[in-house]
Structure 1
Amino acid sequence: MCNAAKPWLYVKRSIGSAVAGTKKGQIPFERLPGPWALPVLGPINDAVRLGNPKTLHLTVSNYHRKFGPIFRIKISQANAVFIKDPEMMRSVFVYEGKYPKHPLPESWTYFNQKHKCKRGLFFMDDEEWFKYRKLLNPLMMRDTDWMVLPIQRMCEKAVQSLSEGVTKDNPSYEIQNIESTLYKWSIEVILCLMLGNSYNTTNMAKLNTLVNDFSRTVHTIFQYSSELMMIPPQLADCLQLSAWKKFERLVPETLALANKIIDISLDDIERGDGLLSKMQDCIASRDDIKRIFADLIIAAGDTTSFSMIWCFYLLGRHQILQDQIRSGIYENFKSPHPLVIGTVREALRMFPVAPFIGRILKKDAVIGEYSIPKHVML
């Protein structure tokens, strides 16, 4: 018999705690506007109200037009509040405290709990998160000049690979499987930042097969995780849905490939001047280094590659901008070109790969005029 939690029972959860503690002049949480839900439908409400995960940002935008700058909705078993007002957003950060807590994809967290899998920084909370974030901040945020050369090397390699089919006789060569190519490129950028000058031609060859397999599995795994966005993973597991079975099979494979890449980088490749070497100086545990890097490599896959695809799409429609950006980059690679910044911002605005920044309240808050209880997802 399946022991998964019965997610359809969440509709009976009382909202009483949401009203407790509301002070005079504050609007109670249950009076926040939002789309309707039928209790008898349970988790089916998510699909009805939120629609296709690929167009979630458009659905939320339509709700904002209907309900205003703040509205509430139940997603799976959690109360969620969506905000688009800048002042309200700033007030959220005031309440987040020393250890911000952000929502995580349910399919990943359920997998981690079920298989007792420890993960990297993205899945850490509270003091553990703060400890490693404090160690990584100086390496990744304060002095970033050292990152320019590794990124430039991988970009030049990718450009050379993409332009191999272009000749005088075939100037309009059509690139096939650009999504897969950019997946591999984004992962190789992280590896080059990780290994620094030791990520040379010889060592690239050592890792090439693993990197190809890894980029393929990561690419596939995010397709299944997006399918699981609209159904509680416990239910998907209980029903043994195809998307869950494939997701559950691919996650261990992906983590094993990531760990193997890092093991080879630590054991069979000379120590370079990259992030891996810097982390070895401040993090004693090899396992901690591996799980932090594994998540960094996994996270590099879809966000960076999809954003780059949309940038290519926008530039492909504006030849004049292509020429201006190309000449500007050749003149000065290190200084950000205004048109590059503008293209990236426009791509992220029109085709957002991560349209929401989420926080989970650890204490009761007042956002706008509304009393928001702790544990609500914003």
Structure 2
Amino acid sequence: MVTDMELVKEILLNTSLNLGKPSYLSKDMGPLLGQGIVSSSGQIWAHQRKIIAPELYPDKVKAMIDQIVDSTNIMVRSWENRIEKDGVVSEIKIDEDMRSLSADIIARVCFGSNYVEGKEIFTKLGDLLKHLSKIYAGIPGFRYLPNENNRQIWRLEKEINSNISKLVKQRQQEGREQDLMQMILEGAKNCDGNDGLLSNSTSQDRFIIDNCKTIFFAGHDTTSITASWCLMLLATYQDWQDRARAEVLEVCGNGIPDSSMLKSMKTLTMVVQETLRLYPPAVFVTRTAFQDINIKGIEVPKGMNIQIPISIMQHDIDLWGPDALEFKPERFENGVLGACKIPQAYMPFGVGSRVCPGQHLSMIELKVFLSLILSKFRFSLSSSYCHSPAFRLLIAPGEGVVLNMARI
């Protein structure tokens, strides 16, 4: 476990392939991640990032905003209907709606015109994640026992892999479409064994399946959980809810947010950044040494695992000040550089060469979600809300987020 900031910087900014993801990650999370971009290392990781990252650059993400708005408006209308049915105020547990919304968007981005089938796959992946979270911190070797939970994991993994394979074959027959799955397909073809990465068609199939599943995990659950935390905090701190709403109405009026509007929403950006600081989706940044290496004069032997605790770094009063545990979005008024003594201590999306390639998409999604919700509703925490952050592979609201919602 590393918390010394100079060591943390050295590890996170290291570009050598001698530091990578530990093998236990692909073993414990194999059914969900396989050898996708989150869990792989070395040349395989570098090749996957080269394929996926350009598809999630800001210019590409701008073209996805209309899809995000359309999906969000469907959810907003469902909330409006519930409020109309219940009267002035409706008590809504938002978590499942946020998960469904995020899954819809990622399915469209990843699978394009096949997004309905893609969303069905993502529903199964969500079930798989729930079952995996029950054994992740359990007894070593427990995942191999033929109990009911493990049998469900094995069944879901088989079904998901089969469904993705069917979509891939369908896409190959129908022809080219510009979406993430097409980029992954072409990346597998261009990695045909000449460089020693993928040696046969089975490896290419695994490459496609693993990265489709990884996109779900990295781009779906993390965003939906952060959206729930954002709404919980805005429901708790009504002054910030009012400030964020005023900004949205000033920038957008009654219109639909576009990329330039979202970029100008400074208050909303600060709220999202502070939420990610207080409730980062992941618990640790993990690395393993593939060779004996020296980090700031410390000898790290081959095979040693390194963990950097994200919450500890992002809640450290020496780095963030005496109010480090308080919700104060204004700390980000001058960006991350102005919020913290050492900017690398802010790592909700990671830092350095392994920074999350989907961070721009996630930020755009969150700002669209919040801007449309704030423009339509006022909300407060329900008395039935129980604050209980829980580790379920990601840090999520243990009992969900329940809001009292009213139309503006």
Tell me whether the two structures share a fold, i.e. TM-score over 0.5.
yes
Report the RMSD for the aligned CA atoms in angstroms. 3.5
1:65-86 CA-to-partner distances (Å, cap 9, x unmatched) read: xxxxxxxxxxxxxxxxx12232
- Aligned match of 1:165: 82
- Aligned match of 2:305: 377
Q: Distance in 2 between matches of 1:215 and 1:175?
A: 23
Q: Which runs of 5+ in 2 are unaligned?
A: 191-203, 307-408
SS at structure 1 position matched to 2:134: helix
- Aligned match of 2:133: 226
**Once the 2 structures are TM-superposed, how far is the Cα of residue 279 of structure 1 from its aligned partner?**
5.0
Aligned residues: 281
Q: Distance in 2 between matches of 1:179 and 1:366?
A: 44
- Aligned match of 1:237: 144
**Once the 2 structures are TM-superposed, how far is the Cα of residue 365 of structure 1 from its aligned partner?**
3.5
Q: Distance in 2 between matches of 1:353 and 1:120?
A: 19
- Aligned match of 2:277: 349
Query: What is the identity, as a one-letter code, of the residue corresponding to 2:286?
Result: G
The 1:297–1:99 alpha-carbon spacing in structure 2 relative to 1, beyond 3 Å, is: farther
Q: Distance in 2 between matches of 1:346 and 1:121?
A: 27
Q: 1:109 aligns with which of 27, 35, 43?
A: 27
The 1:103–1:111 alpha-carbon spacing in structure 2 relative to 1, beyond 3 Å, is: closer
The 1:347–1:252 alpha-carbon spacing in structure 2 relative to 1, beyond 3 Å, is: farther
1:152-197 CA-to-partner distances (Å, cap 9, x unmatched) read: 3322233233333122872312224x3222222112111222355x
Query: What is the identity, as a one-letter code, of the residue corresponding to 2:96?
Result: S
Q: Distance in 1 between matches of 2:153 and 2:184?
A: 30
Q: Distance in 1 between matches of 2:122 and 2:181?
A: 20
Q: Is the 8 A contact 1:360 1:377 kept in 2?
A: yes
Q: Which runs of 5+ in 1 are unaligned?
A: 1-81
The 1:307–1:169 alpha-carbon spacing in structure 2 relative to 1, beyond 3 Å, is: closer
- Aligned match of 1:255: 161
Matched, 1:187 2:115: no
**Once the 2 structures are TM-superposed, how far is the Cα of residue 219 of structure 1 from its aligned partner?**
2.9
Q: 1:148 aligns with which of 65, 70, 74?
A: 65
Q: Distance in 2 between matches of 1:364 and 1:259?
A: 39
TM-score normalized by structure 2? 0.58
- Aligned match of 2:10: 91
- Aligned match of 2:358: none
- Aligned match of 1:321: 240
The 1:118–1:303 alpha-carbon spacing in structure 2 relative to 1, beyond 3 Å, is: closer
**Once the 2 structures are TM-superposed, how far is the Cα of residue 88 of structure 1 from its aligned partner?**
1.0
Query: What is the identity, as a one-letter code, of the residue corresponding to 2:292?
Result: D
The 1:94–1:179 alpha-carbon spacing in structure 2 relative to 1, beyond 3 Å, is: closer
Query: What is the identity, as a one-letter code, of the residue corresponding to 1:312?
Result: L
1:38-78 CA-to-partner distances (Å, cap 9, x unmatched) read: xxxxxxxxxxxxxxxxxxxxxxxxxxxxxxxxxxxxxxxxx
- Between the aligned residues of both structures, percent identity stands at 20
Instruction: Tell which structure's C-alpha radius of gyration is larger.
Output: 1
Matches within 5 A, 1:45-124: 82-93=1-12, 95=14, 97-98=16-17, 100-103=19-22, 106=25, 109=27, 112=30, 119-124=35-40
SS at structure 2 position matched to 1:121: coil
Q: Is the 8 A contact 1:310 1:347 kept in 2?
A: yes
SS at structure 2 position matched to 1:122: coil
Q: Distance in 2 between matches of 1:137 and 1:300?
A: 13
- Aligned match of 1:306: 225
**Once the 2 structures are TM-superposed, how far is the Cα of residue 146 of structure 1 from its aligned partner?**
2.3
Q: Is the 8 A contact 1:95 1:365 kept in 2?
A: no
SS at structure 1 position matched to 2:305: coil
The 1:95–1:375 alpha-carbon spacing in structure 2 relative to 1, beyond 3 Å, is: farther
Q: Distance in 2 between matches of 1:166 and 1:261?
A: 38
Q: Is the 8 A contact 1:103 1:358 kept in 2?
A: yes
The 1:134–1:342 alpha-carbon spacing in structure 2 relative to 1, beyond 3 Å, is: same
SS at structure 2 position matched to 1:124: coil
The 1:321–1:263 alpha-carbon spacing in structure 2 relative to 1, beyond 3 Å, is: farther
**Once the 2 structures are TM-superposed, how far is the Cα of residue 97 of structure 1 from its aligned partner?**
0.5
Matched, 1:174 2:91: yes
Q: Is the 8 A contact 1:179 1:306 kept in 2?
A: yes
Q: Is the 8 A contact 1:259 1:290 kept in 2?
A: yes
Q: 2:290 aligns with which of 362, 370, 377?
A: 362
**Once the 2 structures are TM-superposed, how far is the Cα of residue 110 of structure 1 from its aligned partner?**
5.3
Q: Distance in 2 between matches of 1:314 and 1:126?
A: 39
- Aligned match of 2:390: none
